[in-house]
Structure 1
Amino acid sequence: MPTHSAATLATPRAPLTVASNDTPSPAADEVLVRVRAVAINPVDWVIQGTGPVTYRWLRTPAVLGSDLAGEVVAVGADVTRFRVGERVFGLATGTDRGRDPLREGAFQEYSTLLERLTSPMPDDLGDEQAAVLPLGLSTAACALFQPQHLGLRMPGTPSSATAPGVVVVWGGSTSVGMNAIQLARAAGYDVVSTASAKNAQTVRALGAETVVDHRSPTAVADLVSAIDGRAVVGAVALGAGSTDACLDVMSRTGGARLAMASTPLSLDALAGRRRLFPAMLPVFTRIGLATLRSTLRARRLGIRAAFVWGSSLRDDEMGPRLWREVVPRLLADGSLRPLPAPLVVGEGLGAVQGALDRQRAGVSAQKVVVRL
């Protein structure tokens, strides 16, 4: 069997090392991709640093990573949408429960993608730009369009003449937030959002009609004022403290659905510790209590709140529609821009561990990318 190189998590919580991996043949519904660029998400270092607790199903050795772009080198028997040599980008789901991270992880020279979670790359889009999209875009789409979350109509769905309402995106300069704003606007919804003063103009340029500073003590009141009595169809909460802030907004505007895409506390300090135990106990206790308080508060307010799992679209009707129809169309007409902007920090699989460390240290309105 042919082999290739992969940035591999050899044992739980170990640094990534470059090792040899078997190059698979694609299954009937897959494409095999020669990976040219990968992007880093917080979940990558969360899995690496806290996986024995947060991803207990994941067995090592494993290849992490969700975001990739490259070209097709083989297609499965049932795939008719792609041809060998075509440039594509897509969502790798290898670290999900029940999947195979050695075949489907992004951080390697060759990876398999499900055809239904893959899109062709426009000629004017570079690998580094395309690689920033998959997980942020998919998570935003799950938050907005899945029935268990906001349940909004997707872009391209026939609409009535009446305005559909307002979407609140708390954390508009995050990867998920930037995509949520663009998708909501493409579907015909108005958007109000938050961002730092540094990133406010970027968020406005994506279509948010009002952007307030999330650090401001009047942020909630400012958003309520901007909504100005219009119907709030839901909110997407991104970042620490965002859930309670969104509940404050919706309690004053009548919104009834909340998609939560962040834990109440960051796991960055815990992920960097040499030992998970006993440091994990107070951290996860605080996360659990904060989540319980917010969930109970939402219930008292009559607001439906649930956490978003960005790759859950793999197994529903929305995922194929998003990746096969909506994404290519929105990229072609300019309604979807590949954001956050790529921050290329290195080349080759040996640079991936440093890229994870760079992302964990913090980036603003950018996405860390490695060229392969």
Structure 2
Amino acid sequence: MAMTPLPTPPSRNDPANFAERGDSFLAALPTFVTEANALQEDVTAKQATASSAATTSTQKAADASDYAATANQAKTGAEAARDTAQTHRNAAEAAKNAAEDAAVDAGDFAASASASAAVLSSASDVLFNVLINSNFGENKRAVSGTVTLAAGAYGHDRWKAGAAGCTYTFSNSGGVTTLNITAGSLIQVIEGEQLHTGTHVLCWTGTAQGKIGAGSYSSSGVTASVAGGTNLNVEFGTGTLSCPHLRPGSAVLPWSPYRGIYGGEKQACLRYCRAINTSAAYLGAGLWYTPSLAIVHLPFIGGMMRAAPSIEFNSAVGGVIIPSGSASASISMNSAKVDGATLALTYISGSTAVAGMAAVASVASGLLILSAEL
């Protein structure tokens, strides 16, 4: 029975074609399973045919023996019966051999399917990087030049300084951002809900050494046992660092973005940090409660934050449109939830408002950062 050959499996030695071949390989498996089941049914049918033929030949042989014992006069007929029996025996033997060959083929097929499953497992690992912003493309705090961070302070999204602070510079070449850590260490805290219990491997490119949790610093390819549901630190010391990735298993495989989704980094980062500056056309809308105080609601577009955020940094001056013109105002937090916040805008200058007037605010200058980082 003909089987449709599987396409070329993905290979980490060919990262450029890895995703395309992985998709093609996965898409071919349903046909593969259907044909394998059909092969099994064909083998079973041939086994039944062989058994039936063997029974028939045995009966024919018995008949031939009876004819020879009771009718010497029918020697010619007996010999014919004997020849017929031999033919059936040969057919039965051929069927038996065919069944045995089919069983061997089925065994080979099972081994091939097992190997294919192993390849697919490796392919899924490539897509399971749990580090967010591992190419350092998200930089809401707009750090630049030589970045000097106090202990626990954040630079690029999701990356904060270790206990001794951190100093680094960064550059981009060919779409890859490389950090050069010259002092201290850089940490990403991974939420426990992103992790499954088991061995994980941490890989990266560069001279920096890294570690998982409380483990020891080492070169790329560090492995450790991870407890699912528990927050986990990944930390890098001095040296160059690019394309870090942490995923289940122990195989050292090529870098991939967060959970294998290109463009998913920005969405994931919004869970922890939001920056509002003059490029945002809209801050919020609300009312002037007094001539000097407006309260506006800021919805969190693009999903909820990890927790109710606080203001991490604030150099922003609000611009508030009112019916009689516009005014500038300072911005502070009034209250916050995971899906939005209310901001207090205190009048500085410009047109005056009357209590009850509508207020539509934007950031006229500066930067406002809301943080729910770990």
Identify the TM-score tier after normalising by the shorter chain: under 0.3
TM-score (norm. length: structure 2): 0.23
Structure possessing the higher relative contact order (Cα contacts under 8 Å, 6 or more residues apart) = 1
Higher helix share: 1
TM-score (norm. length: structure 1): 0.23
